[in-house]
Each structure stands twice: as C-alpha cells, then as structure tokens.
Amino acid sequence: MVNERSSWVPQGVNVELPSAARVYDYLLGGGHNFAADRQLAERFATALPGSRDIARLNRAFLRRAVLFMVERGVDQFLDVGSGIPTVGNVHEIAQAANPEARVVYVDNEPVAVAHSQLILDGNDRAGALQEDLRNPEEILDHAVTRGLLDLDRPVGLLMVGVFHFVPEDWGPRALVDRYRSRLASGSYLALSHFTADSRPVEMAAMVEVMSRSKDPIHPRTRAEIEALFTGFELVEPGVVSTADWRPRAPGDGAAGPERDQIYAGVARLP
C-alpha cells in the first residue's frame, strides 16, 4: 500500500484525541490514560455492559495463547497492535516461561510505542516500533524486527483485539496473507476480534461510540473471523469466545453474557 504521506513526516502526538489503546488500559484497571480516554471508556462501558470483563477475558486469552505457543517451542513473538504496556505483557509472560524468548511490539500510536520503549529499556530481547498494521513489509523489514526476530524460524504472530479496527476496504484477509507469506512453517497466529453475533444491539451502540474516535470498530461474524485464518490450520477448539479458548483457571472465564463478545482463535502455519 502506498502512503501518500512520506515516511519522514512524523505523526502528531495529540492527547486530546482518545486512543483505543488507552481506553483498553483503562478498562483493564490501568492508570496509563488521559481524561479524554477515560471519558470515552466510560461511554464505551455504558454502551456495552461488561466491558471490563470483556477486556479482562481478552487479556487473559492473550496470556494463554502466548503460553500455548511457548509450550510448542515458539520463542519469538510479533505483537501487532500491542497498545499500552499494561499488566501481562507478552514479553513478561513469554520470558517468564522461556528467558530466551524475543518479542517485538508494534503499534501505530506514538505514546503507546514510547511507553513500551520506556518499559523495555534494558531488555535486550524485546523492542517496540511504531508502524501501521497495514504495512506488513515495513514492520517485518524494520530494523527492530530484523534485530530481534529470525523470520526463517517459527514466529508467534499476535493480533489480539486489533483486526476489528480494520475496515473491509483495507482488505483484512489480504492483509493477513501478506504477513503469512513472510512467516516460516510452524509459525502461529493468535487473533481475537469483536463480534456482534450474540449482542447486536449493545455492540451497535459501542460501534457508534467508537465511530467518532480515531479508532472506529468493525465487528465481524464468526465466519468472517475464521476466514482471517485462511492459510493457517486452526488448533482446537477453533474460533470460540475468549472464555472458551482453552481456559485454565477461574480468572479465564466469566458467567455473564460478556463472555461472548470477542471471538478468539489460534492457528498454525503448516
């Protein structure tokens, strides 16, 4: 994709504009956010009851997905749309299980990236870079990526809670394809995604709230989300609610309808 804007013109930093990453942090109970983010988050939570649990379940899925991959020998991760380095970062989880694990965080939000870089200061096995997920080649060929990841070996590609920011006209399936084409056999993709399948009314209200932010949300059906895994082989139990994806502990689940708002799945590249 050709960017009209030349790459050396910097993106602006504007805390008046809410960022989805900081809204997510707030819903997770984090304090890494600004007034505008908290306002939006409250409206988000009003429109979509159970938002805090939805965020928690999604975050818990990320942890299980990373551990699942580590257990299958994956020791390098590319976290696209990593957001604010809030509790349970991928490098903490992965490096706790395998101290040699390497992680690259990617986000298009400059504050989130700067924050990640601050946190990662002194960790020579993890790095953060600012890029739009629409530019797989720029991400995969970035100096930070090249310095940390060996693309000839399996990589854990994490796209958790990010593809619902991709509208249809960006070609989400083709986009995943462009990542997939650069990954080695044995790589994994973990992906989670908002859906309106179970609570269309509340989801529509939330979409409306987010439509006026700089990160509008595009929920997809289960079939559409499964299609994003084209070319990969989904592992059991396939694309399911986050709470149903290989739960291990009481914190992984929830009883109310909040458990069905995000679908998640992990797949292996044959």
Partner 1 sequence: MRRPPTGGPDGQRQPESAVRDRLVRDWSVAMATSVFVPVPHEEIERRIAELVDALVGVLRAEPFVPDAAARTGGDLVRAGFSGQTSLSRTLDLLADSLPDLAGPTSPETDARVHAVLGCLVTGYVQATRELVFEQQEGVKRALLRAKEQAERDLWLSEARFREVFGTSAVGVAVTDLDGGFVEVNRSLKEIVGYTGAELTDRRLADLFHPDDAGALTEIYRRLRDGKSERVREQWRLLRKDGDTVWSYLAVCLLRDAEEEPAYLVTMVEDITDLHLLQRELRKQALHDALTGLPNRQALVPGLERMVAGSDGITVLQLDVDGLGVVNEGLGHGVGDEVLRRVARQLGALFPADRAALVARLGGDQFVVAVDHSAGRPDVAALVGRINEELAEPVYHGEHGVAASVSVGVVQRETRGASAGELLRAADNTLRRVKGQGKRQWGLFDPERDARDRACSALAAGMSGAWENGEIRVDHQPVVSLRADGEVLAVEAVLRWEHPDVGEVSHERCLAMAESVGLGPPIAKWLLREAGEQARAWGELAPAVGVALDVHQATDPDLVGEVRGVLAEFGLAPERLRLGFPTSVLREENDDAWDNLRVLTGLGVRTYAHGFGLGAVDLACVEELPQPVVEFTPELGARVARRPDSALARITVDAVSVLGGLGVTVIAGGVESAEDADWWRSAGADGAWGAHFAARGLPQGVDAR
Residues that bind partner 1 (CB under 8 A): 8-13, 15, 22, 28-34, 52-53, 55-56, 59-60, 63, 84, 87-89, 92-93, 110-115, 117-119, 248-251, 253-254
Cβ count near 249 (within 10 Å): 8
CB-wise, 122 or 250, nearer to partner 1?
250
DSSP, collapsed to helix, strand or coil, labels residue 130 as: strand
| Beta-carbon contacts of residue 220 (< 8 Å; ≥ 6 apart) | 163, 164, 193, 194, 195
Shortest gap between Cβ of 19 and partner 1 (angstroms)?
Answer: 11
Shortest gap between Cβ of 61 and partner 1 (angstroms)?
Answer: 10
CB-wise, 40 or 60, nearer to partner 1?
60
Residue whose structure tokens are 């082989």: 233
Shortest gap between Cβ of 183 and partner 1 (angstroms)?
Answer: 26
CA distance 124 to 143: 14
Shortest gap between Cβ of 269 and partner 1 (angstroms)?
Answer: 26
Angle between helices 200-211 and 35-47 (to 10 degrees): 160
Shortest gap between Cβ of 222 and partner 1 (angstroms)?
Answer: 24
CB-wise, 114 or 151, nearer to partner 1?
114
Residue 8: DSSP 8-state: T
CB-wise, 166 or 243, nearer to partner 1?
243
Question: How long, in residues, is the chain?
Answer: 270
Residue 126: strand pairing partners: 103
| 141-145 contacts at long range (C-beta below 8 A, 24 or more positions apart) | 144/104, 145/78, 145/104
CB-wise, 89 or 187, nearer to partner 1?
89
